[in-house]
Chain A
C-alpha cells in the first residue's frame, strides 16, 4: 500500500509524496499572493486555506480522467476568500502552471494546463458574479438610502412647513432685492391680503409715515450684511387701510459662504396690547368723570417743565387753580348726580377756554387747574381767569333747572428757573385760599410777600382738627387774686398749642383761625372739659379753699345751641360744683346778637355758673346796656390800668374812668376784676379804686396745673413761680 494523506477540509486523498508537493506548493503560493488582495487572514491561515485548495487540485490531476471541475471550483474559492486583486490570479496561474509539473513530473503538464484553465474560468465567472452582486447591492443600498432620505426630508419639510403655516406669528421670506417671496397665513391675516397679493409687494411698500428713520437704516444695514438681525416695533397699514402695530424681527439668512441670500421677517401683532396699554395709560392719567387729564398727568407735566428747563432760561410758567364756590351745597341739596353733571359741564367750559399749550386738569373734588406751560406774562393768566369766570357765569341747564355756578381762582405766574413744582403748587393753594377768603367768583393773584403769613395761617388752620384729636393742646392757669389780701380766688384757663414743628403757640396764633374755620367749637369744648377736670382735683384737695376756674367761650361757641347742654354734661361728668366754674365772654360776643346768647347765659346762670365779661371797655356797648345782661363779673381791660402802672400818676382822668366803671359794676352787683396788673403801685391804686380782683404778672404768670396746686398748698411762699413763656403769656393776657 502506498502511504496516503487525507486533507480534512475537503477529504482530498493524496499519496505521501504528493502531500509533500502540496505543502511546498501551498507555501510558495501563499508567498506569491500575500498582499495582492485584502484577505482577512493571518499568514498561517492563508497557508492553511491554500493547502486545502492545492490538495484538491493535486487529487484532481491524479484522477482519471482528470477532474477539471475542481480547477473551476478552486477559482471560485479564491474569489470567496476575497482574492480579488488582479495580480492574485496572474501570479496564481503562472505559479501553478510552472511549479506543478516541476513537483509532480512532466507527465502532468498538459493536464495542468487544462486544470489551470478551468481555475481561470471559475475565478472569472465567480468574480463576475460577485462583482455584479456587489454592484447590485450597492445600487440597491443607494435606492434604499435615497428613499429613506427623501422620506426624512419629506417628514422634515412637512414639519417645517406645518410650523411655517400654523405659526401664530406672521412670517415672511424676502429675497435680497426686497421682493416678498413667501408668506404664511398668519401674516396674510394680519395684513388682510391674500398670499398672492403679498407676493406682489416689496418690503419697501411696507413703510409707514411714522416709521423712525432708524428702522430703514437698520434694514439697509441688514441687506448690506452689516447686521444679522434687528427687532423693532413698527406700524403697518393693512390692505383695508387700517393701522396695525407689530413687533418686527428681521433676520438675514446667509449661504454657507456667508453671503446674504434671504431675509426673514417675523411679525407679531401687538395692536391690541398697545390699545390696552394706551387705554390703561389714559385711565391712569385721566379723570373718568370729566375725561380731563387728572392730577397725575398734571403733576407729570409740571415736573417736566421744571426738569427740562435749563438754567438761564427765561421761560415762565403759570396756572389758574380753581375751586367751585358752594359745590358741597349743590351736592347736598340736589344730589351727587347733579353734582357730577355740574362738574362735567364745568370741565367742558374750562376745556373750551383753554388754548393750545394750556392744559386743563381736574385735581379732584371740585378743584380744577389750567396750566400754561409757556406763559407770556401775568396778563395772559389774568385774561384766562377772567375768560373762565365769564364762561362759568352763564347759568347751567342741569336736571331741568337753571343753576348758576361760580368759582374762585388762584393765579400763579412766575419764572421757571429758581422754582420747583411743590413751591408752585403751594403758591397756587395759598392764592386760591385767599381768593376764596376775598369772596366768591373772584380771582386772586399770587403775592409772594403775603406768602409766609398765609402759609402759616393756612397750614395751622388745616392742621388744627387733627391736632385737637392728637391732644397737642394744653391748658395753663393764671391766678385771679383778691386785691385785698392777694390770695388766690380763681384761675383763668389759657389754652396753648404744642405744635410739633413750631413749638408752643399762644392763642393769638390760632384762636382767630379756629374761629374762622369752626375748629373753635371742638377746641373750646376740649378746654372746658380739661379745665373742669383740673378744677375738680383742686376741689377734691382743697375743698372750700379751692379756686374757681374761668374758661373763655368764643362767640361762635355761644351760638352753638348745644353749649348749655355741653356745660351741664361736663359739670356732671367731672363732678365740679357749678359755682366753681366761670365763663368768660367778650363784650363783642354779647352785643352781636341779642336772642340766643342771652337765653344760654340765663341757662348757665341757672346752673350756678358765673358769667364774666372779658376785656370790658374795649367794645362800644353803652353802659346802660350792661344792666340788661346776665353777668356776674366784669374784667376791666388791661389798657385801662396801663397808665396807672407808674409810681407817680399825674393825669387823674384814667383813675376817674376806672373808678366810674368800678362804681357802675358794683352798682349792678357785679365783681370787678382788673387785668394786666404788673406793678405794685398799679395794684395799690386799683385796690384803692375798688377793684375786687386782679390778674397779671405782678401776681403770677400762667402756670401748669401742678404749680397751682403747689401755690395752694403753700400760700405764704415768698414768690409764686414765674412765667414759663412770657411772650405767649403777654399775648394771651390781652387777647384771650
Chain B
C-alpha cells in the first residue's frame, strides 16, 4: 500500500515524494533565528515570532539561554578531549555555531550539522562551503541509518572515536509517536564509548500557563511541539551517565556567571551524558 501524507495545503503526496519547500508556513528553524536577532527569516516566520514574543516576552531570553547552554556544553566536551560533533537539528546557522565554539578550544574540531529543513541545510552548505572539517546533511533525526551512513558524516567524523551528539532544543519537536527514546538509543549504540550526549528540551514544568499558547502556536509549523517533564527528558539519557550537575534548568547547567533567582523562567532542561 502506498502511504500518502498530506502537505500543509492539503494536497496528498506519496510518502516517497520529497517534501516541497514551502515558505508560506513558518519554520521552527527560521523562527529560532529571528528570536536570536537574525534576518534569515521571512514575514511569516517573523509574524509568528512576534506573536509568540507578545504572548511571552521572555522568549528571546529563553532562546539565548538555550544557545548559551549549547556553547558551555560544547566547551565542556572539548575540555573532555572531544573534537568531533554531530549536531542534529542544527537549524539556521546563527552566530556562535558549534564549529565556531569548538574551534575556540581546538582549531581541528570537526562538526557535522544535520537538519531536515531543506532551507536550513542549503543555507548551512552555502555558509560552510570549502570547510573540509564540516559537513551538512539533510536527514530526519529518526532515520538513524540515513544519518550515520551519510557520506558527509563518514567523511568528516570517525565514529570509532568519541563524538559529541547534540540534540539541543530538538526533541520537543519529536512526538512520542516517533519514539524518540528508541531513536536516541540507536545513536547511542552506534557511538564509541566516551561519546557524549548534549541535550536540551523544553518543558512545561514551572510555567504551565505559558506553554499551552506556545504549543498551539507551533502547530502552524511542520514541527509541532511536545513538552516533556523532567522524568520524561531523563529517559533520553538511558545508557549515558549524566555529568554534574545532572539534568537541570539550562541556566543552572555550569553557568559562567552567578545565576539570578527563578531559573525556571527559562523553562527548559539541559544535561550532558557520557556513554561509558
* Chain A residues within 8 Å of B, Cβ to Cβ: 35, 37-40, 42-44, 82, 84-85, 130-131, 134-135, 137-138, 140-142, 144-146, 148-149, 152-153, 156-157, 160, 228-229, 251-257, 261, 264
Could you list 18 further interchain pairs (A-B, Cβ under 8 angstroms) beyond the known A35-B64, A138-B39? A38-B35, A39-B95, A40-B95, A40-B100, A40-B101, A42-B257, A85-B60, A134-B38, A134-B40, A138-B119, A141-B40, A141-B123, A142-B23, A149-B18, A253-B1, A254-B4, A255-B6, A256-B12
**Chain B residues with CB below 8 A from A160, complex form:** 14, 16
**Chain A residues with CB below 8 A from B82, complex form:** none
Q: Given that A38-B94, A85-B60, A137-B40 are known contacts, is A145 also in contact with B122, CB under 8 Å in the complex?
A: yes
Which of A144, A157, A253 sits near B4, CB closer than 8 Å? Answer: A253
* B residues 11-49 in Cβ contact with A at 8 Å: 12, 14, 16-21, 23, 30, 35-42
Q: Which residue of B lies closest to A41 (CB)?
A: B96
Cβ of B231 within 8 Å of any chain A Cβ, yes or no, is no
**Chain A residues with CB below 8 A from B2, complex form:** 253, 264
Which of A134, A144, A153, A229 sits near B18, CB closer than 8 Å? Answer: A153
Chain A's nearest CB lies how many Å from the CB of B69? 12
**Do A142 and B4 touch (CB < 8 A)?**
no
Cβ of B121 within 8 Å of any chain A Cβ, yes or no, is yes
**Do A35 and B61 touch (CB < 8 A)?**
yes
Q: Which residue of B lies closest to A35 (CB)?
A: B61
**8 A–B contact pairs at CB < 8 A?**
A40-B95, A40-B100, A145-B119, A152-B18, A160-B14, A253-B4, A255-B6, A255-B12
CA of A156 to CA of B13, assembled, Å: 12
**Do A84 and B12 touch (CB < 8 A)?**
no
**Do A142 and B122 touch (CB < 8 A)?**
yes
Cβ of B5 within 8 Å of any chain A Cβ, yes or no, is yes
CA of A37 to CA of B64, assembled, Å: 8
Chain B's nearest CB lies how many Å from the CB of A49? 13
**Chain B residues with CB below 8 A from A44, complex form:** 256
**Chain B residues with CB below 8 A from A43, complex form:** 256-257
Q: Which residue of B lies closest to A81 (CB)?
A: B95
Interface centre among A43, A84, A130, A138 (most CB of B within 10 A): A138
**Do B12 and A40 touch (CB < 8 A)?**
no
**Do B5 and A140 touch (CB < 8 A)?**
no
CA of A137 to CA of B119, assembled, Å: 10
**Do B123 and A137 touch (CB < 8 A)?**
yes
Cβ of B193 within 8 Å of any chain A Cβ, yes or no, is no
Q: Which residue of A lies closest to B37 (CB)?
A: A84
**Chain B residues with CB below 8 A from A84, complex form:** 37-38
**Chain B residues with CB below 8 A from A35, complex form:** 61, 64
Cβ of B126 within 8 Å of any chain A Cβ, yes or no, is yes
Proximity string of chain B (41-75) to chain A, C-beta cutoff 8 Å, 1 when within and 0 when not: 11000000000000000001101100110010000
Name the 4 nearest CB pairs between A and B, nearest first: A40-B96, A256-B6, A141-B123, A145-B118
**Do B18 and A130 touch (CB < 8 A)?**
no
CA of A131 to CA of B39, assembled, Å: 5
Q: Which residue of B lies closest to A160 (CB)?
A: B16
Which of A38, A152, A261 sits near B95, CB closer than 8 Å? Answer: A38
**Chain A residues with CB below 8 A from B39, complex form:** 130-131, 134-135, 138
**Do A255 and B126 touch (CB < 8 A)?**
no
Chain B's nearest CB lies how many Å from the CB of A340? 58
Chain B's nearest CB lies how many Å from the CB of A138? 4
Cβ of B92 within 8 Å of any chain A Cβ, yes or no, is yes
CA of A153 to CA of B19, assembled, Å: 8
**Do B21 and A140 touch (CB < 8 A)?**
no
